[in-house]
Amino acid sequence: MHVLILGGTGDARRLAEALVGGWAGVRVTTSLAGRVARPRALAGEVRIGGFGGADGLARWIVEHGVTAVVDATHPFAEAISRSAAEAAAATGVPLLALRRPGWAAGPGDRWHPVASLAAAAAALPALAGPGGRVFLTTGRQGLAAFAALDGLWFLVRTVEPPEPPLPRRAHCFLDRGPYTAEAETALLREHRVGVLVTKDSGGAATAPKLVAARELVLPVVIVRRPPPPPGVPSVAEPADVVPWLRRLPGPA
């Protein structure tokens, strides 16, 4: 069995470790898009770079004898998830999506769900007010959606250096989770942040900023996830992938 993991998330890394360390005879390849210059170490084989769309992914699957694909990309990686669904359909190779659950608002949360980054930018002037200060944690891609908001000040956190266009009044810094609620609260206080903007990526590594926002009674603009490709089964935890693999026909 050759399992191709479409990675880039902590769940993908944990899945590769579980398969390589606990299932003899299984070949595991994790594919990374290459957007992070120094990715964390991964178990098994690693390939870096795009496939060239659904057709290129289908060719790679056939040429490398892939018998199962697990889409463990970020919930907002729409293009590769769509390509995976099309390539799996074209090749007949089973596809499973590994998607951690999204976050759920609790008592005291002041969430403002929106459908896109553009909608998040449109909501900010009213929420932040003139000269408001915004903590932007939506990743380095898509910052252009906020570039025209000259009346606001942005604290921008990314893993890799962002590329222009950026908001004119922005302080950018690089950091990678996991974070703690205490550190996130201190960060928000230090920079006198009035609004948090984030994507609903789910998971525990970056959730402490939501706890900090609740503690400080701050509004949170949260971008909803795009819908997954239709017809693709999904599980929530890396441990749930192994039973799915064992049920597949073949040498497993």
Cis peptide before 164 (omega within 30 of 0): no
- Mean pLDDT, rounded, for 8-28: 90
Shared domain for 203 and 124, answered yes or no, is yes
CATH number of the domain within which 118 lies: 3.40.50.720
Q: Are residues 143 and 231 in the same domain?
A: no
The proportion of the chain whose per-residue pLDDT surpasses 70, expressed as a percent, equals: 97
Residue with tokens 């026909």: 249
Does residue 235 share a domain with residue 192?
no
Measured between alpha carbons, how far is 97 from 75 in angstroms, rounded to an integer? 10
Confidence band, pLDDT 50/70/90 cuts, at residue 36? low
**Using one digit for the tens of pLDDT, what is the confidence trace for 143-193?**
999 999 999 999 999 988 998 999 999 999 999 888 999 999 999 999 999
Q: pTM for the whole thing?
A: 0.88
Residue 121 sits in the same domain as residue 219: yes
Residue 91 sits in the same domain as residue 41: yes
Residue in the structure block whose two tokens are 């002041």: 110
Is 252 inside a domain boundary?
Answer: no
Q: Is residue 212 part of a domain?
A: yes
CA distance 156 to 72: 26
Look at residue 38 and tell me whether its pLDDT is greater than 80.
no
In this structure, the strands spanning 153-158 and 170-174 are parallel
215 and 239 inside one domain: no
Domain membership of residue 174 (yes or no) is: yes
pLDDT in tens, 103-119: 999 999 999 999 999 99
Q: Apex CA 244: angle with CA 240 and CA 250, to 5°? A: 150
pLDDT for res 33: 84
> How confident is the model over 64-76, as a mean pLDDT?
96
- Cα(219)–Cα(217) distance, rounded to whole angstroms? 7
- Say yes or no: 20 and 97 in one domain: yes
Q: Between these two residues, 89 and 205, which has the higher pLDDT value?
A: 89
Q: Are residues 7 and 93 in the same domain?
A: yes
Give the pLDDT confidence score for residue 143 in this predicted structure: 95
Residues 131, 232 within the same domain: no
**What is the domain count for the chain?**
2
The amino acid at residue 112 is H
Same domain, 118 and 218: yes
Structure tokens at 130: 């003139």
- Tell me whether residue 251 is in a domain: no
Q: With CA atoms as reference, report the closest residue to 80 among 185, 209, 218, 232.
A: 232
Q: pLDDT at position 121, please? A: 98
Quote the CA–CA distance of 243 and 67 in Å, as a whole number. Answer: 15
Q: Based on the fold, state whether residues 114 and 170 are members of the same structural domain.
A: yes
240 part of a folded domain:
yes
Query: Is 238 contained in some domain?
Result: yes
Q: pLDDT confidence of 40, banded at 50, 70, 90?
A: confident
pLDDT beyond 50 at 252: no
Domain holding 91, by residue range, is 2-101+227-246
CA distances from 176 to 16, 38, 130, 139, 179 (A): 21, 12, 30, 11, 8
Residues 207 and 184 in one domain: yes
Q: Is residue 119 part of a domain?
A: yes
> At 218, is the pLDDT very low, low, confident or very high (cuts 50, 70, 90)?
very high
Q: Which pLDDT score, from 0 to 100, does residue 250 have? A: 65
Establish if 23 belongs to a structural domain: yes
Q: What is the pLDDT of residue 156?
A: 97
What average pLDDT is seen over the chain? 93
